[in-house]
Amino acid sequence: MNSLLLLGGLVLLYYGAEWLVKGSVGIALKSGISQLVVGLTVVAFGTSAPELVVSVDAALHKSGDIAAGNVVGSNIFNIAVILGLSALLCPMRVKAQLLRFDLPVMLAATVLLSLFLYWGRIFRWEGILFLAAISAYTLWHINAAKKNKKQEMGQGIGNTNDGSYLYFTAFLIAGLITIVLGARFLVESSVQIARQFGISEAVIGLTIISAGTSLPELATSVVAAIRKESDIALGNIVGSNILNSLAIIGAAGTIQPFACEGISHLDIGFMLILSLALLPFMRSSSTLSRWEGGLLLAGYAAYLYFLWPK
């Protein structure tokens, strides 16, 4: 029964995020926002909605290791698996704005998150600090988009030329409702499975739940890479990791401070190493190449080998 609930939760999260992304991207592109900004903000918010709901729900149910493990595991999965696979499918050009501003913001957010997780607990004041930081980041992008109305608009995800604002809003609302239901099924079933097989909640959060909640990012970035839309593929992952580190931990910690002693220094360190590796990878010829994508995927395989109980 728990396995069926877990599978059902993953399916609901996937389709809920698909609808949420379609609605939010449609609204954004009809409003004249550029493709890179859409990837960094609107798509990232939409694809990170499962992580947000799962982590907040886990914190409210005193499962802090799942709340934090979901974020740490998602950050690792996003970089190692999703960017790695996307780069293998199609080497991706990196815009100067991403290197100058958004990637350094992601690195700063990851370092700050690592420092707070090192002590094994997220306090309410830390959550509030994270929420203030993500609000400032989002406002910066909104103001930058308003100042640059001549930016090239993207046509990559969804048939945004067809449909009214009401049409896309309906998809957005349906997606949100579906994600909430899927998150509840996923958290409850995962906790029961972990207890049944003697696997720690931290490992479940770092692997099964984080991979499940990252399915929307996987689908979005892989499809964008195949269509050679590097801005969406890269912006989605960089933006999602910023949101994971700041908005999701911030919301969960503000609503319900939680302990997360099960997140080890190995998990935190690997997240940091992967995030820092993106800087030289992306700076090399301003491209994320196939061999770099393969290296990221190999790193994730090694991480699973050390993490999963023998």
Closest Cα to residue 102, out of 231, 239, 233? 239
Q: Domain containing 141: what range?
A: 2-307
Is residue 102 within 8 Å of residue 261, measured between CB atoms? no
Average pLDDT along the chain: 84
Q: What is the DSSP string of 274-307?
A: HHHHHHHHHHGGGEE-HHHHHHHHHHHHHHHHHH
pTM above 0.85, yes or no: no
Predicted confidence band at 130 (pLDDT cuts at 50, 70, 90)?
very high
Fill in the amino acid letter for 136.
Answer: A
How do residues 231-286 score in pLDDT, each as one tens digit? 778 888 898 899 999 999 999 999 999 999 899 999 999 999 999 999 999 888 78
Residue 151: is its pLDDT beyond 50? no
CATH number for 117: 1.20.1420.30
CB 263 within 8 A of CB 202: yes
Q: What is the Cα–Cα distance from 22 to 36, expressed in whole angstroms?
A: 16
DSSP letter at 227? T
> Which one is predicted more confidently, 142 or 52?
52
Identify each DSSP E strand in 119-212 by its residue range.
121-122
Distance CA 191, CA 195 (A): 6
Span 52-110, pLDDT tens digits: 888 998 899 888 999 999 999 999 999 999 999 999 988 888 888 888 899 999 999 99
Residue with more model confidence, 177 or 60:
60
Chain segment 3-50, per-residue pLDDT in tens: 888 888 888 877 877 787 777 777 767 776 666 676 677 777 777 777
Domain count for the chain: 1
